[in-house]
Amino acid sequence: RRPRKYPPGPKLLPIVGNFLHYRERLKALGYHHLVWMELYKKYGDIVGMKLGRNYVIGVFGANTIREVFTREDFDGRPDGFFFRLRTFGKRLGIVFSDGQFWQNQRKFSLQHLRSFGFGRKEMEEKIQEETRSLIEIFKNKNSEPIFMHNAFDISVLNGLWAMMAGQRFDIDDERLRRLLQIIHDAFRLVDISGGMLNQMPFLRYVAPNASGYNQIKEILERMWEFLEETIEDHRKMFAYSQQPRDLIDAFLQKIDVKNDPTFTDDQLMSLCLDLFMAGAETTSNTMGFAMLAMIIYPDIQKKIQNEMDREVGRNRWPALCDKIRLKYTEAVLMELQRRVTIAPLGIAHRALRDTELYGYLIPENTIILTNLYSVHMDESFWKDPYEFRPERFLNEKGDLTVNDKHYIPFGGGKRRCLGESLGKANIFLFFTSILHNFNIERADDSELKLEGYDGVTMAPKPFRVRLIPRQD
Ligand code: HEM
């Protein structure tokens, strides 16, 4: 039975709740966010479901989602078997922790990432070095077709890893490439509500393969092994009297001082894992889609290059300070992030206590899925949301206009994306550097659509392009 005043939704069955209905619709529609969109059309802005033993509500539309983002009652993150799997059975990390622990870890991470360059000129310089080496590699391909859906994986990670681990990976590093590929796979394997494993943890015994348990475990083991080596190297190299060189050093120093028992070896691993996963996948996938958009819309590509030639010129590469003048280019990147909505269901929140949302009762521990896609595709606001039309972000004078309530690719409120400035800088610098150096042409005849694989984040399907050097 539904709890009294619980939001409306499909009929509940014993034990499984709405699980069977959900699976059946997922099979038919192919994407988690579309299953929720179907429920939104039927039941309204707040939809109440029960998946296995978890109460899960879907929240839709700009106003309702803003309400969730701005209320402390909804600042929690779900707990449970699936969410603890990556953190040694404990509640650790930064993405899926909450309360005072999360606040301290978020503050610590931001403070130290900033001191190692995050959001500052050093970060831009690091990214620029990465754009240069990637473009060098692209040039050496002599306009041969190149796979683009994952071409940015390592370069994008390098910006983050410089601040976290003071390390940079070779763009051809085979081991890391494989690791990033399994992370892509992991993001496709799970869904943000915790999926079957959180709803029915016993499945790991009865169906270890079908429930995804074995695959997730294997991916995690490879990640742990990789991070353990990195942390171990830091432990050996870093004498505590020295100045920390990166976030891992700063954390090791904090463990050593022993004035805060929440700074543990397990938490260091979990924090690295969370930042690595959140930082690599989202940005790299956005770049993949950006390249795809450029071959689907060659006229838009040309317009961006014209703007760059006019505002930056051909004698130097674009930099972040050019952003304010590259208005059309910015509008294209915003339109891309709107149209694709890389994280269509955001990251699940949790009700910290029994509370109300627009008159409905939301029981403590309910998982809340903020359907960012519903905001970005709201017809009453955008009019033609399926069209790729960058001009919607420009006013008559050609200046950028952003409506913060209707454009929320990084979420909002206290749980807003921690890596936004890094993600944006990476996307802007890689995108503009590529278009500064190359014309992007399609290499295959297959039909191209701005649609990706389903998962926690949307991921572009494999596609190839030719990068033809532009004449000076
Ligand atoms: C295009 C790039 C990116 C997009 C679209 C994106 C999007 C998001 C979204 C939608 C959320 C959830 C907000 C919520 O809970 O309501 C989030 C959270 C988060 N993101 Fe990003 N993100 C991006 C890049 C990054 C990068 C580069 C990092 C690396 C530092 C990062 C780290 C995080 C973390 C740690 C959280 C969890 C914050 C918390 O729970 O307090 N993200 N991101």
Q: Whose CA is nearest to atom 36 of ligand 1?
A: 417
Q: What is the pTM of this model?
A: 0.95
Distances in whole angstroms, Cα of residue 334 to Cα of each of 192, 407, 455 = 24, 8, 21
Q: What is the pLDDT of residue 425?
A: 95
Give the mutation target among 417, 420, 422 for probing the ligand 1 site: most ligand atoms within 8 A of CB.
417
Q: What is the ipTM of this complex?
A: 0.99
Domains of the chain from N-terminus onward: 19-469 (1.10.630.10)
Nearest-atom number in ligand 1 for the CA of 412 is 16
* Residue nearest (by alpha carbon) to ligand 1 atom 31: 419
Strand 54-59 to strand 367-370: parallel, antiparallel, or no bridges (unpaired)? parallel
Nearest CA-CA partner of 430 in 124, 212, 205, 91: 124
Q: Which residue has the tokens 């839709």?
A: 60
Residue-level pLDDT at 324: 95
Q: What distance in Å separates the CA atoms of residue 344 and residue 454, rounded to the nearest whole number? A: 10
Provide the H-helix boundaries in 30-173.
Answer: 32-43, 62-70, 81-85, 99-115, 121-140, 153-165
Ligand 1 interacting residues, C-beta cut-off 6 A = 94-95, 106, 160, 274-275, 278-279, 282-283, 286, 342-343, 346-347, 370, 409-411, 415-419, 422-423
* Closest ligand 1 atom to Cα of 342: 5
Question: Which residue has the least CA distance to atom 40 on ligand 1?
Answer: 95
Ligand 1: residue of 71, 282, 285 to mutate (most ligand atoms within 8 A of CB) is: 282
Which amino acid appears at position 24 of this protein?
Answer: E
Query: Mean pLDDT in each 10-residue stretch from start to end of the chain (472 residues)?
Result: 90 90 92 96 97 93 97 95 86 95 96 86 93 96 93 92 90 85 77 71 77 82 90 84 86 87 94 90 95 97 98 95 97 98 96 97 96 98 97 95 93 96 95 97 90 89 95 74
Predicted local distance difference test score (pLDDT) of residue 362: 97
Pairwise CA distance, residues 393 & 399, whole Å: 8
Distance (Å) from CA 407 to ligand 1 centroid? 15
Task: Tell me whether residue 321 is annotated as binding.
Answer: no
Measured in degrees and rounded to the nearest 5, phi and psi for residue 371 equal: -85, 85
Half-sphere exposure of 44 (CA within 13 A, CB side): 8
Return the pLDDT at 176.
85
